[in-house]
């Protein structure tokens, strides 16, 4: 799960049209990154400026490395008027016997741990 850092400031300072361009740019970036992975991987907007990436048959270390690559490469993209933006990312691997709700809670907790730790980073949950 990933969330753009300080995205409200983008909308407040530059307007929702520019904010939407950042969101579209992020979606394009995620699709491009995932095109290099297994076709079973998928991405979707979770809500607001949050996105969820699902990577079946991927171990936690590989998912963390891929999340770091997504984060680092996104931070170098320069958006019209909004410049470079950053994201915080939470990564979790489903545990034996765990349901989807519990997994979502853990990945959300990891995301907010990244936010609390200074943003623009990846944390495991």
Enzyme catalytic residues: 49
Q: Is the dihedral of CA 61, 54, 90, 78 positive or negative?
A: positive
In the β-sheet with 42-47, what is the strand arrangement from edge to edge?
A: 42-47, 50-54, 2-4, 87-91, 122-124
Q: First and final CA of the chain: distance in angstroms?
A: 11
């Amino acid at each position: 799960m990933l969330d753009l850092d300080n995205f409200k400031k983008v909308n407040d300072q530059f307007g929702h049209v520019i904010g939407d361009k950042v969101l579209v740019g992020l979606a394009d970036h995620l699709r491009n990154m995932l095109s290099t992975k297994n076709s079973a991987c998928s991405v979707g907007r979770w809500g607001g400026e949050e996105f969820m990436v699902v990577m079946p048959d991927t171990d936690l270390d590989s998912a963390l490395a891929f999340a770091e690559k997504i984060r680092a490469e996104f931070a170098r993209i320069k958006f019209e008027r909004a410049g470079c933006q950053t994201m915080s990312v939470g990564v979790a691997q489903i545990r034996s016997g765990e349901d989807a709700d519990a997994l979502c809670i853990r990945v959300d907790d990891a995301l907010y741990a990244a936010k609390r730790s200074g943003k623009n980073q990846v944390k495991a949950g």
